[in-house]
Homo-oligomer: A and B are copies of this chain.
Amino acid sequence: MKKGEATRARIIDETGRQAAIKGFGAVSLGDVAEAVGLSKSGLFKHFDSKEDMELATLDAGFDRFIAFVWDPADDLPPGRPRLESVFERWLDWTEVENAAGGCLIMAASTELDDQPGPMRDLLQVRVRKWRQRLAGEMKALREPPMSDAEAQGVVFQMKSFILGHSELRRLLDDTGARAAARAAFDSLMDRTQQI
Contacts and interface: CB of A to CB of B under 8 A. Distances in A.
Interface residues of A, number: 30
Contacts of A168: 156
Interface of A is mostly: helix
A66 interface: no
Most buried by B among A109, A156, A165, A167: A156
Contacts of A184: 153, 156-157, 160
Interface stretch (A47-55, A81-89, A123-131): A123-131
A190 B110 CA distance: 32
A1 interface: no
Interface in A161-195: 161, 163-165, 167-168, 170-173, 180-181, 183-184, 187, 191
Given A113-B171, A167-B109, A171-B113, A156 B180 contact: yes
Given A127-B172, A160-B163, 16 more contacts: A109-B167, A109-B171, A113-B170, A124-B173, A127-B171, A128-B172, A153-B180, A156-B164, A156-B168, A156-B180, A156-B181, A157-B164, A159-B164, A160-B161, A160-B164, A191-B191
